[in-house]
Structure 1
Amino acid sequence: MKAQVFRGVNQLSYEEVPMPEIAPDEVLVQVKVVGLCQSDIKKIRYPLYEPPRIFGHETAGAIAKVGSEVQGWEVGRRVVVMHHIPCMRCEYCLNDNFSMCDDYKNITTTAGFNPSGGGFAQYVKVPGHIVRNGGLIPIPDATTFEQASFVEPTNCCLKAVKKAQIAPGQTVLVTGAGPIGLMFVMLVKYFGGKAIATDLLPSRIEKALNVGAEAAFDARDPDLPAKIQAITNGLGVDTTLLAVPSEKAFFQALDCTRKGGKILFFAEFPESVEFPLNPNILYRREIDLMGSYSSSYRLQSLAADIVFNRRIDVDALISDRYPLEDLSKAVEQAIAPTPETYKILLYP
């Protein structure tokens, strides 16, 4: 089969690799669509992992082979593949910190080499513990493979929205109106909140308004805090979701978030970034800083429901489609997006 093999920093090789062999409790899935995620791009561009590996994890496809011990799944079933499932027994899992679980962090879906997701290939092997514990999600007939590939990123965004306890009537600032920021705008609206978005690109500012933002501004606007104060009756937003790894965005969030509000870090910052922060700002204004990493097992069914029942419009996020052989071109476009670049999908 064909796959995009990571051979080193910025070195992708579209090559022939052996078809994964499955054990009796495993399933082989033919990949129909896989989304390109910012985390994939980081893994390709920086020396984070030893090659060779096959990345890709926002995977939707059809079951091509079923192990002899597998029950409840058959060849041809359309499925979303969740690339990691927590153990449900460790202290992290028992406290709902599923993404901190060692089993969760140890990705085991694979198309060959060190298991690393495996979605950037024609076929991916799903190990037994993922098959048994909810890591395969059946796709309804009315849902396309493209739409289904959004279940995993929707779960990640949904986890952040739930962690920040965004509620009806609240106002939320979303910094960055790329595909993740736009999904945040949709989810905030779905849960009854009002989203305000910022970005550097006029097209993305307009897009945020189109998908449901109450207001959207240029992030460089020096009057941004005053404009947000005006929208929020002088208070500031209840919550800010940092969807871009920008130091300026963080300090902007401090200026725009009300007393007693929350700032949630969703985007991962470079390791070298440090913020000079007077802790009295947090103390006196009682602002909560929090982080949200990856997805939540507890929200898996809700994420699927939101996508499958079109409670948000994931189709509006898709801007580009590439054959898998052009993954390098897709990565380059994601790094240097055009004004109309949002979510990029790949087709093995």
Structure 2
Amino acid sequence: MHSREGAIAMKAQVFRGVKQLSYEDVPVPELAEDEVLVQVRVVGLCQSDIKKILYPLYEPPRIFGHETAGVIAQVGSAVRDWQVGQRVVVLHHIPCMHCAYCLNENYSMCDVYKNISTTAGFAPSGGGFAEYVKVPSHIVQHGGLLEIPDGVTFEQASFVEPTNCCLKAVKKAQVQPGQTVLVTGAGPIGLMFVMLVKYFGGRAIATDLIPSRLEKAKQLGAEAALNATDPELTAKIHDLTNGLGVDTTLLAVPSAKAFTQALDCTRKGGKILFFAEFPDEVEIPINPNILYRREIDLIGSYSSSFKLQALSADIVFNRRIDVDSLVSDRISLQDLPLAVERAVSPTPDTFKILIYPNSSANPHLS
């Protein structure tokens, strides 16, 4: 923190309009008595952040970023359970736990959950792309801060939220030991799916267009990794499954072609889960008799599940999956536009991109 014209200021990447990020000084958020201020040490760049920056989804100005890990810098006078200096993961939304959606365990449909309240200024929008983020009372009191154990890095801890999102999908699809799961797309999310499927005793088959990502999928435990454009793809997947087809397909890319392949490759009585968000204008024609005669279940899975928060933290903190292997780029907050560009047009070696508000906190950048 530093002074500017008497006010305490910090650096942040402010969304000023479509494809317009401005690296500027903004006031450090002021705390109410029941709030906590966290110094951001690392924040993951998520596909949802990229969409919010590239498309007119939200009115500017805003500060995005939500896969946040850092250190408590200040606590309000009424905060009892948290102290300055504790290392924490910040979870940017927590459900109310008593609406009709929460009582049905549809936590991500809860209005309180959807109304993001962590902020680095302007309309609350996550706030991780800044030096400090304010955690409001509802998040502080209801499980939205997780202490990072000794021996776990900030980088590893920043994966708790994306792990929860993927874990929710794997649980919703009811992946069982011994089942075969097709994962379409071997980017950071698809690779996390590969590791989680293996962790829960399943066999993963990955598809992608980039050979290096297929290689990475095999390194992380995929039984097979196939090019999505291979004309023999369906035949190869049936060969790998004794002619049956996969039990479940997890669609980790918003591709109509991937969905068509999923229909061809998923067994009768199997499941297809939509994880990636498609552009709103996309419509996929489907003959309903395919679902009726083959008893295919179509499922959607959006965001995280409060119920899986402890398990997600356990999986990351106890290294039950290797999140370190997903990190390819470490970029300073000042260069966030470059990070977005790299994510949109990945090199063969681009996987997960992590952002550092303070380059001196990252040995890779100093």
Alignment TM class, shorter chain as reference: over 0.9
Of residues 263, 274, 288, the one that matches 1:279 is 288
* TM-superposed deviation, 1:72: 1.0
1:307 paired to 2:310: no
Structure 2 counterparts to residues 125-140 of structure 1, below 5 A:
125-140=134-149
1:104 paired to 2:113: yes
Counterpart amino acid of residue 282 in structure 1: L
Query: For 2:231 and 2:292, how far apart are their aligned partners in 1?
Result: 26
Query: For 1:314 and 1:156, how far apart are their aligned partners in 2?
Result: 14
Query: For 1:287 and 1:326, how far apart are their aligned partners in 2?
Result: 45
Of residues 295, 316, 319, the one that matches 2:304 is 295
Query: For 1:87 and 1:276, how far apart are their aligned partners in 2?
Result: 37
Query: For 2:257 and 2:231, how far apart are their aligned partners in 1?
Result: 12
Query: For 1:287 and 1:221, how far apart are their aligned partners in 2?
Result: 24
* Aligned-partner SS, 1:30: strand
* Aligned-partner SS, 1:17: strand
1:31 paired to 2:73: no
Q: Where do 4+ consecutive residues of structure 1 move more than 6 Å?
A: none
Structure 2 match to 1:325: 334
TM-score, normalised with respect to structure 1:
1.00
Provide Cα deviations, 1:69-106, integer angstroms capped at 9, x if missing partner.
11110000000000000000000000000000000000
Of residues 31, 48, 59, the one that matches 2:57 is 48
* TM-superposed deviation, 1:292: 0.2
Of residues 118, 129, 144, the one that matches 2:127 is 118
Query: For 2:158 and 2:240, how far apart are their aligned partners in 1?
Result: 35
Q: Which runs of 5+ in 1 are unaligned?
A: none
1:4 paired to 2:13: yes
Structure 1 match to 2:6: none
1:182 paired to 2:182: no
Provide Cα deviations, 1:36-64, integer angstroms capped at 9, x if missing partner.
00000000000000000000000000000
Query: For 1:141 and 1:17, how far apart are their aligned partners in 2?
Result: 32
* Aligned-partner SS, 1:271: coil
Identity %: 80
Counterpart amino acid of residue 272 in structure 1: E
Query: For 1:53 and 1:129, how far apart are their aligned partners in 2?
Result: 21
Query: For 1:237 and 1:71, how far apart are their aligned partners in 2?
Result: 50
TM-score, normalised with respect to structure 2:
0.95
* Aligned-partner SS, 2:27: coil
Query: For 1:3 and 1:68, how far apart are their aligned partners in 2?
Result: 26
Provide Cα deviations, 1:257-314, integer angstroms capped at 9, x if missing partner.
0000000000000001001100000000000000000000000000000000000000
Counterpart amino acid of residue 148 in structure 1: A
1:342 paired to 2:331: no
1:254 paired to 2:263: yes
Structure 2 counterparts to residues 216-235 of structure 1, below 5 A:
216-235=225-244
Query: For 1:131 and 1:21, how far apart are their aligned partners in 2?
Result: 15
Of residues 81, 84, 92, the one that matches 1:83 is 92
| CA RMSD of superposed structures (Å) | 0.3
Query: For 2:351 and 2:239, how far apart are their aligned partners in 1?
Result: 30
Query: For 2:299 and 2:132, how far apart are their aligned partners in 1?
Result: 37
